[in-house]
Chains A and B, each alone.
Chain A
Amino acid sequence: MIWKCEKLFYTLYYKVLFMGEINQNPGEIVKDIKQLMERSSRFISLSGLSGIAAGICALAGVLVAYIMLDDIGGRTNYRVYYRLPLSEDTLTLKLLGLAAATFALAFISAFYLTWRKAKKNNLPVWDHTSRRLFWNMIIPMVAGGLFMLGMLQYGEWRFVAPCSLVFYGLALVNASKYTLTEIRYLGYCDIALGLINMQFIGYGLYFWAAGFGVLHIIYGAIMWQKYERKS
């Protein structure tokens, strides 16, 4: 009986001591506050592997487009591909379908890898941080997409590649406020590539491969190395 009492006493004593420690260590408290602020204002589960997967999808898409263009006679022919109204232009329609499929595949694989990372770290995937990231990313992208469809409607295909890079870059810069800030640099690079592409009209596929493929893979690898490799 006495032994039991003693045990109870010690348990209570340690509980009080432990709580006291939590309350009194200001370093720990400040660290907790910072972590909570970070976690509540930014979506931090974005996985580097998502970037790599999206990059691989983009490269595959570009490769298929390259082969499709090869079929119509000469790899460079798309540079002089003449203007046709969208409804009669089956090649552009096919390429649009390919672009949509590539985007969907990239998005799904990126989403899956991010979902996996969030689950591993026991963080929610769909909370107010990811919602905010989603909306801030989707607005410039949808605007850009509709803008480019409008250009195709008038048979103007030449600026589609530079435009897509610029709009995507702007979307990333905008999104960087709501997720890991490093994505901002990927955005800057895509904007720069898009603007350079303006001076090299007709080489859109190469710029796409660089902007959506290579840059994504580099970014993803750096982020994975920085945030995920250890854990």
Chain B
Amino acid sequence: MKNPINGLNKIFESRIRLGVMSILMVNEEINFNDLKQMLEVTDGNLATHLVNLEENGFIKVHKGFIGRKTNTTYSITKPGEKAFNDHIIALEHMIKGMK
């Protein structure tokens, strides 16, 4: 049998990155402040993780404006969705293995 841990994605070891991906899986588009509020993290911390996810091609960033205020929204990409699903499957295999 294949080792289930192989499916685990290093990038998702961070709880914040995994949290961002979980939220983006069920929300078409979400802005920075809503993400910050839900994950209860600081601006800088969240920004770093978002850059990391963007560089890996897992999320798309849209820069927009509401009036003069910037409104940056994020959405998940196809590779991001696949990586997340693989990660979940690996986690579920691990849970089954533990029982």
Contacts and interface: CB of A to CB of B under 8 A. Distances in A.
Interface of A: 22-23, 26-27, 29-30, 32-33, 36-37, 39-41, 124, 127-128
Contact of B95 (A22, A30, A36, A39): A30
B26 A33 contact: no
B88 interface: yes
A128 B34 contact: yes
Given A41-B26, A41-B27, A128-B30, A36 B92 contact: no
Contacts of B13: 23
A124 B38 CA distance: 9
Contact of B23 (A27, A29, A36, A124): A36
B34 A33 contact: no
Contacts of A26: 91-92, 94-95, 98
Interface in B24-75: 25-27, 30-31, 34, 37-38
Contact of B91 (A30, A124, A127): A30
B22 A30 contact: no
Contacts of B79: none
Q: Secondary structure of the A side of the interface? A: helix
A37 B95 contact: no
| Residue with the highest number of chain B CB atoms closer than 10 Å, among A29, A30, A33, A128 | A33
A128 B26 CA distance: 13
A36 B27 contact: no
B95 A27 contact: yes
Given A26-B94, A29-B91, A30-B92, A37 B34 contact: no
A30 B88 CA distance: 7
Given A23-B13, A26-B95, A40-B27, A33 B37 contact: no
